[in-house]
Structure 1
Amino acid sequence: MNGHVKSMQFQLCMEPATTLLSLLLLMAVDSTRTVAASRNQQCGSSLQQTLKLTRLIQKESVDLIKTYKASQGEMSELLCKVSITGVPDPNISGLEPSEKIVSIYTHLQAFLPHFKRVYEQQTDLQSPASPLLAGLTHVSDRSKYLAALINLFYQSLFPNVPIPEPAGGPTALPPPQNVFQQKVYGCVVLKTYKELLSNVSSELRTLKNRMCRKRIQINRLRMT
């Protein structure tokens, strides 16, 4: 058998292998694109769900403030205008997306004990059937669920990095208060929480545009 015949036989043997390799590469690229598209869709869908819940709670918080004022008797319009300390800051901190997500989560968590304190105080001031008590419970429960969604989204992006605890620990609750101070405190807590939800909504929109689109661009670069 001369060298020319051997060369032809070698090429014939290699052609099926080359074709198979090409098919495998095409399948791998297609699979990568499918996974990337799924992840990008999941990123946008997760943030959109969280954003919708934030807007819903924000609307409910506006209604809750109206209910709160209506249940406090005289001078209720002045309650939210009094300046007090000890209420969590409504502003989101951090430069990187991960820092902002952590800040959103810790701020939501920080308000939960304040909701509990306001509920306890208003239990002594309202009748058991008061719509205010039901509204406080409802908003508090929704806030816990929103914090859980934020936590899940963070874990999907950083699966091996748990959300750190606040550097200064949980927000301290106010010392014993008289009735007027309780009324002021409750109104300021609800008003500040509404401001927090507005800030969270704005940050989530920015994160959705920044992170999900960025992941799409990165995946496109990897596939080119």
Structure 2
Amino acid sequence: MNGHVKSMHFQQFMEPATTLLSLLLVMAVDSTRTVAASRNQQCGNSVQTLKLTRLIQKESVDLIKTYKASQGEMSKLFCKVSVNNVPDPDISGLEPSETIASIYTHLQAFLPHLKRVYEQQTDLQPPTSPLLTELSDVSAHNRHLAALISSFYQSLFPNLPVPEPAGGPTTLPPPQNVFQQKVYGCVVLKTYKELLSNVSRELRTLKSKVCRGRM
């Protein structure tokens, strides 16, 4: 076999190899871009979620002030009374997946309590009361935040199921007199504000991890 034939055989051998190498390089670049795009989206989700949490946290501070101003005498004492059946505001979990799951279940657990407070205050306040508007807004924002947390959780851990509130549905208090309703409402809102403070702290930590690609 002369040199020309050998050269032709070598070129015929190299062409598929070169094509395969080019294809692998394109796939590697696309994969890298996909991972980078996914991380950017997750980082964006974490930032958006943290911003909404801070907004609701500020709203909760203003809401408690409006609530106390709407309850008449002894309103400053209402939040200091101990009440059963109000969810714990503390977030649990050592791993990011456990922390986000805990945030989600806590937000879900507070939904029926916020609804109950709104219903009770509807009977106690005039229809034009700003308290009713603020209670409605906070409940709506809480549902939106829970949905964002769920989406954030699924983007980070697509193979894990969305968590459900531990122990089943939250237990609401039995029928209450007016004084008990005012106390219950104040304690729910105060505890909810504590929850948002804890959520904000945990989300700041998660954001620093997600946006640096260290999850």
Q: What amino acid is aligned across from residue 166 of structure 1 in structure 2?
A: P
Please state how far the C-alpha of 1:19 moved relative to its aligned partner. 3.2
Distance 1:182 1:20 in 2: 74
Aligned to 1:154: 153
Please state how far the C-alpha of 1:3 moved relative to its aligned partner. 5.3
* Residues 114-150 of structure 1: per-residue CA shift (max 9 Å, x gap): 1111111111211011110111111001100110111
Aligned: 1:98 with 2:97:
yes
Alignment of 1:58-77 (within 5 A): 58-77=57-76
Alignment of 1:16-165 (within 5 A): 16-165=15-164
SS in 2 for 1:150: helix
Contact 2:39–2:213 (CA under 8 A) maintained in structure 1: no
TM-score norm. by structure 1 comes to 0.89
Aligned to 1:172: 171
Distance 1:11 1:154 in 2: 53
Q: What amino acid is aligned across from residue 37 of structure 2 in structure 1?
A: S
Distance 2:54 2:123 in 1: 31
Q: What amino acid is aligned across from residue 196 of structure 2 in structure 1?
A: L
Distance 1:107 1:83 in 2: 20
Aligned to 1:209: 208
Contact 2:78–2:187 (CA under 8 A) maintained in structure 1: yes
Contact 1:115–1:136 (CA under 8 A) maintained in structure 2: yes
Distance 1:16 1:161 in 2: 44
Q: What amino acid is aligned across from residue 123 of structure 2 in structure 1?
A: D
Please state how far the C-alpha of 1:212 moved relative to its aligned partner. 4.2
Most deviating of 74-83 and 197-206: 74-83
Most deviating of 125-134 and 170-179: 170-179
Instruction: Number of aligned residue pairs: give it.
Output: 215
Q: State percent identity of aligned pairs.
A: 67
SS in 2 for 1:165: coil
Please state how far the C-alpha of 1:159 moved relative to its aligned partner. 2.9
* Residues 168-199 of structure 1: per-residue CA shift (max 9 Å, x gap): 11221112222111111101100100110111
Aligned to 2:12: 13
Contact 1:65–1:191 (CA under 8 A) maintained in structure 2: yes
Runs of at least 5 residues in structure 1 that lack an aligned partner in the other structure? 217-224
Distance 1:181 1:187 in 2: 10
Distance 2:153 2:132 in 1: 32
TM-score norm. by structure 2 comes to 0.93
Aligned to 1:221: none
